[in-house]
Amino acid sequence: MTISSFQPPKRTLMGPGPSDVSERVLQALARPTIGHLDPAFIGMMDEMKSLLQYAFKTENELTFPVSAPGSAGMETCFVNLVEPGDKVIVCQNGVFGGRMKENVERVGATPVMVEDDWGNVVDPQKVEDALKANPDAKFVAFVHAETSTGAMSDAETLVKLAHEHDCLTIVDAVTSLAGSPLKVDEWGIDAIYSGTQKCLSAPPGLSPVSFSERASEVIKNRKTKVQSWFLDMSLVMGYWGGGAKRAYHHTAPVNNLYGLHESLVILQEEGLENSWQRHMDNHLKLKAGLEDMGIGYVVKEGERLPQLNSVYIPEGVDDAEVRGKLLNDFNLEIGAGLGALAGKVWRIGLMGHASSEDNVNFCLNSLKEVLGK
Ligand SMILES: *Cc1c(COP(=O)(O)O)cnc(C)c1O
């Protein structure tokens, strides 16, 4: 049997990620591969750092993309900052807080869980109670935009509380970056990680991270070796932070970095605040259309993520059948529920390039047809 080239179908991606990648970014990916220590490539890496600083609203020196998806950015934060025996307050209000707990345990540290129901935001009062009850805690970790439920927690307040109790913060911004207000320096976030395939609309496979001065000091003063060789910042920075003297650590995913660079250039052209506003505007249009169809949201008004619309599946409707029809008849992907919400909700993404009025209308019309409305 001869296997020929793979030709993916052309879909519209309105799930929890990856989101649609624009033609411009796809073309950037197809540019010639060059050496990852080539001076031309190193110039691109320097630009990448300032573009990411722009997107995160930070001046943190230690800002770069980890060569692996969002989960690796998460792990980079935990393995570099947390040492065996440390106590970490972990907020869980969906799937991704549970992964933070896993990371803390695998480092040999102790998680103190602050739990909220799926669909709710992280309750600052519970976090304050946990901080008071655990004066020896060193970190507070939480998810800014919980993609599994569509809830956006108040990052500014949570960081402030953590700092009042001398804790550093580790923040998951995989889905919030470029989609909703996020101000790393103004809010004082210490360690943050994101992903490329959500509101940046680049292909999956890279994880932008940023560490404050305070977090960098903690990493420098570790008593134990980071147990992951690949994610050890002291080694990775010889490559990303080495200036002209960059040393080989691993081969950077050259073409994927072209894609991220292009998507960040597009973000800069649009303007970060304009991108936040576009995500909100399209969310409100989608919400109005869904409510006309009698479809309601999981998350309370005012706590919803504009880029991830978690809505209840109407009574008597077959979840898998509807998503299957949307995919097969309309080439439209929307997301299924995860964990506690599996089978109960759909997750409609309006992320990055996919957050457009055309997509809102396309999704509403396709859904109406499939539901026979
Ligand atoms: C998607 C996502 C991740 C994981 O990112 P991957 O690129 O799939 O590894 C982590 N946290 C949140 C909130 C996410 O939405």
Using CA positions, which residue lies closest to atom 14 of ligand 1?
Answer: 174
User: What tokens were used for 276?
Assistant: 């936040």
Among protein residues, the one with the nearest Cα to ligand 1's atom 8 is: 70
Q: Helices H, strands E: what count in the chain?
A: 13, 13
Locus of tokens 């619309």: 309
Whether 283 is in a domain gets the answer yes
The pLDDT of residue 244 is 64
CA of 24 to the centre of ligand 1 (A): 24
Ligand 1: centre distance to CA 16 (Å): 9
* Ligand 1 pocket member 204 (CB < 6 A): yes
Whether 5 is in a domain gets the answer no
Q: Say if residue 309 is in the same domain as residue 345.
A: yes
Q: Are 309 and 150 in contact (CB under 8 A)?
A: yes
Q: Does the beta carbon of 195 sit less than 6 angstroms from any atom of ligand 1?
A: yes
> Which residue has the CA at smallest separation from atom 6 of ligand 1?
70
Q: What is the 174 CA–ligand 1 centroid distance (Å)?
A: 6
Omega before 18 cis (within 30°)? yes
Q: What is the DSSP string of 20-89?
A: PPPHHHHHHHTSPP--TT-HHHHHHHHHHHHHHHHHHT---SEEEEESS-HHHHHHHHHHHH--TT-EEE
Average pLDDT over residues 88-111: 97
> How much is the pLDDT for 227?
93
Confidence category of residue 262, pLDDT binned at 50, 70, 90: very high
Confidence (pLDDT) at 134: 98
Please write the tens of the pLDDT for every residue from 292-314: 999 999 999 999 999 999 999 99
Range of the domain at 71: 23-268
**Integer Cα distance of 193 and 78 in angstroms:** 10
Listed residues 233, 268, 303: the one ending a domain: 268
Predicted pLDDT of residue 238: 79
Lowest-confidence region among 33-42, 154-163, 256-265, 328-337? 33-42
| 322/317 Cα distance (integer angstroms) | 8
Which CATH number does the domain housing residue 350 bear?
A: 3.90.1150.10
Does residue 21 have a pLDDT over 70? Answer: yes
Ligand 1: does its nearest atom lie under 6 Å from the Cβ of 147? yes
| 258 and 335 share one domain | no
* Strand order through the sheet with 332-336: 12-14, 332-336, 345-349, 308-312
Give me the pLDDT at residue 242, please: 63
| The last residue of a domain, from among 215, 247, 268 | 268
Average pLDDT over residues 173-189: 98
Kindly report, residue by residue over 227-256, the tens digit of the pLDDT. 999 999 988 887 887 666 788 899 999 999
pLDDT at 42 over 80: yes
195 and 131 in a common domain: yes
Cα(181) to ligand 1 centroid in Å equals 18
- State whether 192 and 170 are in the same domain: yes
What pLDDT is stored for residue 362 in this prediction?
A: 98
At 237 the pLDDT is 83
288 and 254: one domain? no
